[in-house]
């Protein structure tokens, strides 16, 4: 989930709302920025609390623009500096407030990931169907609540309502308000209370589960599957185990993404190959055990082509439904087939959790762990500078080897 505009992280790991006051209004307001601390909470909660605060700050700036000094709404007869205009008169809005046009405007400006566009467009379509019209200016909070209740009655889970349907509508409406296409965000403050998940175990693979997958990856009898699919079974689990990368990030890699960087054999995890959750590229050195197993030959044979799928063999794919996504789905199904079938552990994501567990045991610093896995820095200070590849390599080599048998 992305943070709303004007919501940012603080140095202590919390969040705050901050809006810069236009320079010509600073003497009226008496401040160069309007700031409100939200505290340490989740992104979704920060967005929920921030929405009314952002509206208040914007209203205060608009009043200052009209010459009002105090923070209270003046009476309608208030005299406006430079013009005789009622303070309560509506702001001039753009000509179109149709919901799908607002969504398209958001997409053009913010350029979210193709997968986000694919997932959110049906959400806006569903909202239009629920409303019976597509006029964003007519949508009120009660409409959003009724929509939420209708989704629940249709069997949509509370978590999906909160993290997909409400999240999409809040972001699009917020963009419309920021761009003066709507006066208010009707979805702001509407949420779903989701029961806390009951976990009977941790999210990491156990040592037995990890060994089961890695051992199965070495089997020469993989059945009648495409060569690229066989390579995915053989190498993606190992690359994830020694990097903590997402399966999708590895599945989209090209042979040329494996290279010598600052004297160290490494892999580039880059949006150029497909997509990364943060949109940022990073470098992860290859563990010596991977080099011993021959991963470099596999990458070199692929060259500039993807390693784990053949674009010519598929149906064309798309930015919102990439070939690499199918690779990950097939790999997850295979993991379940070979016996790692506990529903409390994700068949692909379990590697990221296991990497973090093993990295802690090996004494790898938190900053390095986050840099290797592409997790956001916990403070502004941690976001400064770059990570030297040799430093990352030394940390990778602290990880214990997965000894499961013949791997050469």
* Angstrom distances, CA of residue 54 to CA of 5, 132, 153, 188, 397: 9, 29, 32, 11, 47
CATH fold group of domain 92-196: DNA polymerase; domain 1 (1.10.150)
Q: How many CA atoms lie within 13 A of 291 on its CB side?
A: 14
How does pLDDT run across 145-195, given as a tens digit for each residue?
999 999 999 999 999 999 999 999 999 999 999 999 998 899 988 988 888
Q: What percent of the chain has pLDDT over 70?
A: 88
Per-residue tokens: 224: 């009648």
pLDDT of residue 58: 83
Q: In which band, very low, low, confident or very high, does the pLDDT at 95 lie, cut at 50, 70 and 90?
A: very low
Q: Which of 276-285, 337-346, 381-390 has the highest mean pLDDT?
A: 337-346
pLDDT at residue 46 tops 60: yes
pLDDT at residue 281 tops 60: yes
Mean confidence (pLDDT) of the chain: 85
The residues near 60 (Cβ < 8 Å, ≥ 6 apart) are 29, 34, 71
Domain ranges in the chain are: 1-89, 92-196, 207-396
Q: In which band, very low, low, confident or very high, does the pLDDT at 93 lie, cut at 50, 70 and 90?
A: very low
Per-residue tokens: 76: 């309608």
pLDDT of residue 50: 84
**What average pLDDT score do residues 89-103 get?**
68
How does pLDDT run across 291-305, given as a tens digit for each residue?
999 999 999 999 999
Architecture of domain 207-396: Orthogonal Bundle (1.10)
- Alpha-carbon dihedral angle through residues 323, 326, 332, 333, given to the nearest 10 degrees: -150
pLDDT at residue 90 tops 70: no
Phi first, then psi: give them for residue 19, nearest 5 degrees.
-125, 125
**Closest Cα to residue 348, out of 362, 333, 337?**
333
For residues 351 and 237, the answer to whether their CB atoms sit within 8 Å is yes
Burial of 287 (0-12, 13-18, 19+ CB in 10 A): buried
Q: Which residue has the tokens 């919901």?
A: 99
Which of these ranges, 184-188, 286-290, 361-365, has the smallest mean pLDDT? 184-188
Q: What distance in Å separates the CA atoms of residue 327 and residue 239, rounded to the nearest whole number?
A: 14
């Amino acid at each position: 989930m992305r943070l709303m505009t004007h919501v940012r992280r603080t140095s202590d790991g919390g969040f705050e709302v901050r809006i810069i006051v236009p320079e010509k209004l600073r003497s009226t307001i008496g401040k160069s920025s309007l700031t409100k601390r939200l505290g340490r909470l989740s992104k979704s909660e920060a967005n929920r609390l921030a929405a009314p605060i952002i509206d208040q700050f914007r209203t205060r700036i608009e009043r200052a623009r009209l010459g009002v000094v105090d923070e209270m709404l003046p009476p309608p007869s208030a005299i406006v500096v430079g013009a005789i205009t009622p303070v309560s008169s509506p702001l001039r809005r753009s000509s179109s407030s149709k919901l799908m046009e607002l969504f398209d405007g958001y997409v053009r400006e913010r350029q979210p990931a193709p997968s986000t566009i694919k997932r959110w467009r049906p959400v806006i379509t569903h909202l239009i169907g629920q409303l019976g019209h597509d006029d964003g200016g007519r949508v009120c909070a009660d409409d959003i609540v009724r929509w939420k209740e209708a989704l629940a009655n249709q069997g949509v889970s509370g978590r999906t309502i909160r993290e997909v349907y409400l999240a999409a509508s809040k972001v699009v409406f917020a963009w419309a308000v920021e761009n003066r296409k709507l006066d208010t965000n009707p979805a702001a403050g509407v949420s779903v209370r989701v029961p806390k998940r009951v976990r009977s175990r941790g999210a990491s693979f156990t040592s037995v589960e990890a060994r089961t997958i890695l051992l199965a990856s070495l089997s020469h009898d993989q059945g009648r599957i495409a060569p690229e699919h066989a390579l995915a079974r053989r190498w993606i689990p190992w690359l994830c185990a020694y990097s903590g990368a997402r399966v999708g990030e590895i599945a989209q890699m090209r042979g040329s993404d494996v290279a010598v960087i600052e004297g160290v054999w490494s892999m580039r995890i880059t949006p150029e190959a497909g997509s990364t959750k943060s949109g940022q590229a990073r470098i992860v050195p290859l563990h010596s055990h991977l080099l011993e197993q021959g991963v470099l030959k596999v990458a070199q044979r692929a060259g500039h082509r993807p390693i784990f799928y053949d674009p010519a063999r598929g149906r064309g794919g798309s930015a919102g439904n990439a070939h690499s996504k199918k690779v990950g789905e097939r790999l997850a199904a295979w993991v379940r087939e070979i016996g790692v079938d506990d529903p409390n552990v994700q068949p692909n994501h379990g590697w990221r959790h296991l990497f973090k567990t093993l990295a802690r045991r090996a004494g790898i610093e938190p900053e390095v762990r986050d840099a290797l896995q592409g997790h956001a820095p916990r403070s502004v200070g941690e976001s400064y500078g770059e990570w030297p590849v040799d430093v990352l390599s030394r940390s990778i080599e602290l990880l214990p080897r997965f000894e499961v048998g013949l791997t050469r």
